[in-house]
Each structure stands twice: as C-alpha cells, then as structure tokens.
Structure 1
Amino acid sequence: MRRWGLRIGLLVLLAVGALLLFAPGIVERQHNVIDGQPLPEVSAEAQALHDTLTVVDLHGDTLLWQRDMLDAADRGHIDLPRLQAGNVALQVFSSVTKTPRDMNYDHNSDETDNITLLVMVQAQPVRTWTSLLQRTLYHGEKLEQAAEDSGNGLWLVRDTTELAELEEAIACGTCTPIGRSRYATPAAGKPVGAMLSVEGLHDLEGDIDNLDVLYDAGVRMAGITHFFDNELAGSAHGIEKGGLTNMGREAVQRMERMGMIIDIAHCSHQCVAEVLAMARRPVVSSHGGVQTTCPGVRNLTDDELRGVAATGGVIGIGYWPDAACGTAPADIVRAMRHVRDLVGVDYVALGSDFDGSVTTRFDTSQLVQITNALLEDGWSEDEIRAVMGLNALRVLRAGLEPMA
C-alpha cells in the first residue's frame, strides 16, 4: 500500500509540474493571437521613415503572462527583441489584476475573477492569490527586474527626467553619450523605455491611500475601471455603468496632483464625461476605438473625442476588431483619420492592447505596417511622426510632473 501511495504521490507531482510548465503557454496562445491574414508589402520609403521615428505604444498587457519579456518568444505580441525590431522607443505596460468570467463587452459584474486561477497556474507568489494590490506590486517588481537584467536594453520611466534621458539616448543612436551610466552603447543599441500602468483601480482595494503605494511601485498611468463597475466609477462593460463616485472624484484629483496620468479606456460614458469635466491635466484613452468608424460600447463618441482633445490628451487607437472593426493596418488608420479630421492630428496615438487577450494582424516587431498604411493614406511625414509617438510624449511630459 505504501508503494502505491508513493507512486500516486509521484504521479500527482508530475501532473502538477506538467501543469505549471505547459499550461501558461497553452493559455496565452489561446488568448493573444495573430490572425495570419496577409499583410501589405512595406515600401522602402515607409521602412526608411519608420527607422527614424520615436514610437510610443500606450498599452500592452505583457506583464500578465508567465514569460521573460527579455527573450524572443514564439507566442504573444511583445518582448524586448520585438520591441527593438519594431523601433519602439517607449512601451506602457499595464497591470491587469481582475477580469470577470465569461468576459463580454456589454454586461459584467465584479463577482467572479479569471485572473486568480491564472496566477496560481503561473506559480506566482502566494500573496498575489488573494490581493489585487499585490498583483500590481508583483507586476511592478517583474518590470523592475526585467530592466535590471536587460543590459541597458529596457529603461524604466517614472518621471520627466528619466523620460528626457531616454529621449536623449535614443537620439544619440550608436554613439556613447556623456552622463548617465546606463545610456545606450554601440553594443546595446537604442534602449526601450518602459512605464507601468494599471488597468482599473479596483486594485486600490477600497483604500484611496493605496494610490501612494502604487505610485511608489512605479505606476504612472491608471485606468479608472476595467471590465466591471468598481468603487470609483462605472465601466462601459459593467451593470450600472454609472459615473464617478466620491472615491473616484478624489482619486482623479489626487492622481493629477501626484503626476499619475488618468486613463479613461473602459470607463462608462458617464464616467468619461465627468472625468473630462473636472480634468486639469491631459487625459488619455490608452487603447480603444471611435464609434464613427467602429460602433461599440467602449469606443469614443465624437463629443468624447473633442473632450479628450480639450484637455490636451490623446486617443490611443487599438489594433483588434472591436476597436477598429478589422485587424488590417488600413482599418487602424481609418480610425486615426477620423480623429485627425475631427479634432486634429495632435490628439492621435498608438494603443495596441498587445498581449491583452486580443487578435491582431501583426505583433510589435511589425509596427512599420502602420507607418506604411499612413503613407498610403496620404499622411505627411510630420503627421506620421506625431501619431507614432510625439503626441504621446507630449502628454507624458505634461502629466508626469507632480503639481505644486
């Protein structure tokens, strides 16, 4: 009997080991998909221009998944080698801490959570199994460790000084700049900036003072809601879909004072209106679409686009079907063109939602496809530079500085 017990125990251990080894990759391959449809041929003009751009993506969910972002992966959309291949200057990495079971765009409660099982299967620290705040802190630790291990390939950006240093190092190219010791060298090439965001402030766990904890962990952008209503506001995908609560209004004011950029992606339309009415600093919609070119509950109306522009913010256009009503580069550019024609080119940005359980046509190594599509659509070089990153940098410079 004892032998049988030992054998059964060994089989259980092997089964658990196999689950921990293979399940994370299987799950991610089911969620972060490249559709395999043909892509346009990139012109030499587009490639030459893209190689000179400062590219900023306002939203990627890579930290959710169990893989080393420093290594080239055969799944998902983002890792450091692919960021470098796509000439990305700065990637905003979001912390996803909770999503509802049977997640949909129309109607979700906060009573269930898909992420708990995922963090267990990924063998994350036990403290993350029951605490949403600890999940974000763990994501921040992962990002810091990746930057430390990257050999100057990945740089954390937490304030305007670090942002300026990143821009200087990128402009320097393969020279050896004077000053900060972790500047790019000829061996390392251009560095990629990394900034931490959160997708929904339910990770405050009901305590507004946890904003300070998030800030100390490096969080510099935060979405008010995600796929369900929370203590701060209604979600576009929630049940009540209401506006800001008292806690939500206090959070908006405190975030602006401390230098944490407000993200209205996933907010209910009432929440969007109330945030825009009280904002004193630029507001972003980090990833999404526009209703005129792609009707949908979370895509922004023309009035909301005007409201974001009035704050000096930007609208990050996403690459997946519910954002752009297609995955082709031309679908993405169609949404960008509407924003440009309505409120001006200064308010258009990139918001891929790569690694966010979405299906796209390409990954971050192929961002030249957007440059190519913009050229094909007749955009000028200055307009393309603005959309691909300079607009986002302007907003980051304005939003990261704490208010007196």
Structure 2
Amino acid sequence: MKRFFKAFAVLILIAIAAFFYFAPSYVAAERNAVRPHAPYPISDQAQALHDSLIIGDWHADALLWDRNLLKRSDIGHVDIPRLLEGNVAIQMFTAVTKSPAGQNIHENSADATDNITLLAIGQLWPPRTWNSLLERALYQAEKLHHFAEKSEHLRVIETQSDLEQLLADRAAGQNVIGGLLGIEGAHPLEGDIANLAKLTDAGHRMIALQHFFDNALGGSLHGENNAGLTDFGRKVVTQVEQRNLILDLAHSSPQVARDVLAITDMPIVVSHTGIFGACPSERNYDDALMQDIAAKGGVIAIGYWRTAVCDDSPAGIARSIQAAIDLVGENHVSLGSDFDGSVTTSLDTSELAAITQALVDIGTPETQIRKVMGENMLRVLRARLPN
C-alpha cells in the first residue's frame, strides 16, 4: 500500500510538472498560430521599397507569453530576430492583464473568470502578479527592459529624445529596434489614479481605456452595454493628456470614444482594428466615428486578423489599409497587427514585406505606403511622447 501511495504521489508530481512545462507553451502556440502558407513572392522593387521604410506597429502582446524574445521562435508572431527580418523600427508591446473566460466580441461580463490568472500561475510569474492587475502590467514592463538589457538590437523608447536617437542610429546603419510599452485596458490602475505614475515610471507610454469588458473607466466595445466614460475615466483621460502619454481607444465602447473626443484635442490611436465599411464586424467602429477620430489628428491602425479585416491574407490586409486611406485620409492610417494577441494570422512579423508587396500590387502610391507603414505613427509619437 505504501508503494502504491508513493507511486501515486510521483504521478501527481509528474502531472504537475508537465502542466507547468508543457501547458503554457501549448496554449501560446494554439492561440497565436500562423496559418500554413507557401513563401510569399516579393519582387525586387517591393523588397527595395520595404527595406527603405520606417515601419512601426502599434500593437503586439508578445510580453504575455513565456517566450525568450531574444531568440527566434517558431511559436507565435513576434520576437527580436523576426522583427529585424521584417525591418520593423518601432514595436509597441502591450500588456494584457485580464481576459474573461469565454471571451468574444459580442458581450462579456467583468465578473467572468479571468484567464490571465491561470496563465500567470502556469508560466510561473512572480506571486505578486497572481492577484494584482497592476503588478501584471509592471512585470511585463520589467520583461521588456530585461530583454533590452540583454540585446544589442532592442531599446526601450520612453521619450522624444529616445525616439530621435533610435531613428538617427538606424539612418546611420545600426540594426536597432525601438520597443514601446502600453497597457491593454486601464484596469491595472485598480481604480486608483495614483497608479498611473507607477505605470509611467515603469515605462508604459500608451494607455488603452478598456479591453474586453466594462471597467471603472467606462464601457467596452464588447461589454454589457454601450456605457460612456465614468468620472474616473475622465480623470484618467485628463491625466494621460497632461503627462504626455498616448491614448488608445481600441476596445472602448463607441460612447466612450465620443466622450473622449468631446474632452480632448490630442491625437488618439485606435491601436488594432479594421474598417467597418470594408469588413462589417462588431469588432470595428462605424465609419463616421473613425472619421471623427481622424479629424482630431488620430490614427487608425489596421490589424491582420480575420475579425478585423475579414480577409487576412496580405492582399486582404492591403485592401483594408486602402479602404482606411479612402475613408480617413493618408495621414491617419497605421499598422496595428495584434500579433500574439490570441489571433491566427497569415504571416508573422518577419514577413511584413508581403504587405508592402500587396500595397504595390493594388497601386497604393509610395508616399502613402511610407505614411501607413510608419510615418503616421512617428507623427503621433513625436506629438505625444514626453520630452
């Protein structure tokens, strides 16, 4: 009998070890797949153009997963080697801190079981992160800083001078990437405006107000009603503006977006989305609201997954980009992949030349391609990053 219990105990320990070792990697691979495809053909003309671009992406959730971003992986979408291969100059890394069980684009409850808690425990994040959304955002910032300390290619961008130095060094031939930090939904504030200082001290520069559920700041695009900004939400928007941070409306309810536009003139980002007129999905704001955001100098960042663009092939992404240009103008469209954001895509970040090729194929002028691929992002960063 003792032998039985010992054997049973060993099996339990093996099962626990297997969970911690295999489960997180399996989840990351399943949730962030790249659809199998043949290599995308890139003409010499398109490749030369791509190599000359300043490319910036407003949204990737790579810090959520237990991957060493310094090494090239066959899991997920983003790491430093693949960013270099894709000629990406600037990558916004967004911290996901809460995700409701059964997450969908239609309706989610803020009281639903949180998926990130189990993921944090399974990936052996520090115990301080297991019950604190703030600590989860701070920990993901620590991860990016750690990768930058270990890499000759990655820098964390926090100020305008950081940005300009990065661009000057790239122009001089250095193979460097700027990583920025943002939060996906402002629930890591945990209802306390003082926590905004902790997030900015950690390097976070873009603040999204909501994610997939209503929170203390207001309604989500996927929440239980189209609630607008709360009083606390208005305080946060005001502080974001005063602290020279970037405000992101991705996942906010249409009423929150309208309320924000009514109280601020700063350029606003919708960091990963699509155009409703081109892809009539509940994930996308109506076209008139997108035009209102652009009218205040904002940018609409086009994603790479089906719910945002309907056709997620490089050609389909290019058509959505062109639809956005036609709707809001060439100065207000950016890239917002949502890489590693629990989406399946038709390419990873090393293959971005396929999008450049697709834009060339549909006749998008080079000046517009340059703006969409990075120059419009630079304009907003220069306007909003602290000195």
Do the two structures share a fold, i.e. TM-score over 0.5?
yes
Residue among 315, 319, 340 paired with 2:300: 315
Partners of 1:302 and 1:333 lie apart in 2 by 18
Partners of 2:133 and 2:191 lie apart in 1 by 11
Indicate the residue corresponding to 1:89 in structure 2: 89
Indicate the residue corresponding to 1:45 in structure 2: 45
Indicate the residue corresponding to 1:195 in structure 2: 180
Cα distance, 1:35 vs. partner? 1.6
Residue among 182, 200, 208 paired with 1:215: 200
Instruction: Indicate conservation of the 8 Å contact 2:315/2:358, yes or no.
Output: yes
Residue among 340, 343, 346 paired with 2:325: 340
Partners of 1:39 and 1:7 lie apart in 2 by 50
Instruction: Indicate conservation of the 8 Å contact 1:97/1:132, yes or no.
Output: yes
Indicate the residue corresponding to 2:140 in structure 1: 139
Partners of 1:308 and 1:137 lie apart in 2 by 29
Indicate the residue corresponding to 2:256 in structure 1: 271
**Percent identity between the aligned chains?**
48
**Matched residue of 1:34: which SS?**
coil
Instruction: Indicate conservation of the 8 Å contact 1:61/1:353, yes or no.
Output: yes
Indicate the residue corresponding to 1:178 in structure 2: none
Indicate the residue corresponding to 1:127 in structure 2: 128
Cα distance, 1:104 vs. partner? 0.7
Indicate the residue corresponding to 2:246 in structure 1: 261
Cα distance, 1:39 vs. partner? 6.0
- Kindly provide the amino acid, as one letter, of the partner of residue 31 in structure 2: H
**Matched residue of 1:326: which SS?**
coil
Cα distance, 1:244 vs. partner? 0.3
**Matched residue of 2:130: which SS?**
helix
Indicate the residue corresponding to 1:289 in structure 2: 274
- Kindly provide the amino acid, as one letter, of the partner of residue 75 in structure 2: R
Cα distance, 1:40 vs. partner? 4.4
Cα distance, 1:63 vs. partner? 0.5
Indicate the residue corresponding to 1:204 in structure 2: 189
Cα distance, 1:8 vs. partner? 3.5
**CA root-mean-square deviation:** 1.3
Per-residue CA distance 1:142-172 (angstroms, 9 max, x = gap): 010000011x210000010101111111111
Partners of 1:217 and 1:2 lie apart in 2 by 52
**Matched residue of 2:197: which SS?**
helix
Partners of 1:6 and 1:255 lie apart in 2 by 57
The correspondence of residues 89-238 of structure 1 with structure 2, limited to 5 A, is 89-111=89-111, 112-150=113-151, 152-173=152-173, 184=174, 190-238=175-223
**Matched residue of 1:36: which SS?**
coil
Per-residue CA distance 1:227-264 (angstroms, 9 max, x = gap): 00000010010002211000001100100110110000
Partners of 1:58 and 1:141 lie apart in 2 by 19
Partners of 1:74 and 1:330 lie apart in 2 by 23
Indicate the residue corresponding to 1:181 in structure 2: none
Instruction: Indicate conservation of the 8 Å contact 1:32/1:76, yes or no.
Output: yes
Q: Are positions 1:54 and 2:39 aligned together?
A: no
Q: What is the TM-score when the length of structure 1 is the normalising length?
A: 0.93
The correspondence of residues 53-72 of structure 1 with structure 2, limited to 5 A, is 53-72=53-72
Q: What is the TM-score when the length of structure 2 is the normalising length?
A: 0.97
- Kindly provide the amino acid, as one letter, of the partner of residue 294 in structure 1: C
Cα distance, 1:2 vs. partner? 5.2
Cα distance, 1:298 vs. partner? 2.7
Per-residue CA distance 1:91-121 (angstroms, 9 max, x = gap): 0000000011111111100112111111111
Instruction: Indicate conservation of the 8 Å contact 2:248/2:270, yes or no.
Output: yes
Partners of 1:37 and 1:304 lie apart in 2 by 35
Instruction: Indicate conservation of the 8 Å contact 2:86/2:350, yes or no.
Output: yes
The correspondence of residues 351-390 of structure 1 with structure 2, limited to 5 A, is 351-390=336-375
**Matched residue of 1:33: which SS?**
coil
Partners of 1:389 and 1:353 lie apart in 2 by 16
Cα distance, 1:85 vs. partner? 0.2
Instruction: Indicate conservation of the 8 Å contact 1:61/1:356, yes or no.
Output: yes
Partners of 1:308 and 1:167 lie apart in 2 by 27
Indicate the residue corresponding to 1:177 in structure 2: none
Cα distance, 1:327 vs. partner? 1.0
Cα distance, 1:222 vs. partner? 1.2
Partners of 2:133 and 2:7 lie apart in 1 by 38
Partners of 1:318 and 1:4 lie apart in 2 by 54
Instruction: Indicate conservation of the 8 Å contact 1:108/1:238, yes or no.
Output: yes
Per-residue CA distance 1:262-282 (angstroms, 9 max, x = gap): 000001111111112222211
**Matched residue of 1:66: which SS?**
coil
Cα distance, 1:34 vs. partner? 1.1
**Matched residue of 2:52: which SS?**
coil
**Matched residue of 1:359: which SS?**
coil
Change (3 A) 1:34 1:69: same
Cα distance, 1:19 vs. partner? 1.5
- Kindly provide the amino acid, as one letter, of the partner of residue 46 in structure 2: A
**Matched residue of 1:51: which SS?**
helix
The correspondence of residues 324-335 of structure 1 with structure 2, limited to 5 A, is 324-335=309-320
Partners of 1:212 and 1:47 lie apart in 2 by 42
Higher deviation after alignment, 274-283 or 355-364: 274-283
Cα distance, 1:304 vs. partner? 1.5
Instruction: Indicate conservation of the 8 Å contact 1:256/1:280, yes or no.
Output: no
Instruction: Indicate conservation of the 8 Å contact 1:267/1:298, yes or no.
Output: no
Unaligned segments of structure 1, at least 5 residues:
174-183, 185-189
Cα distance, 1:15 vs. partner? 2.1
Cα distance, 1:305 vs. partner? 1.8
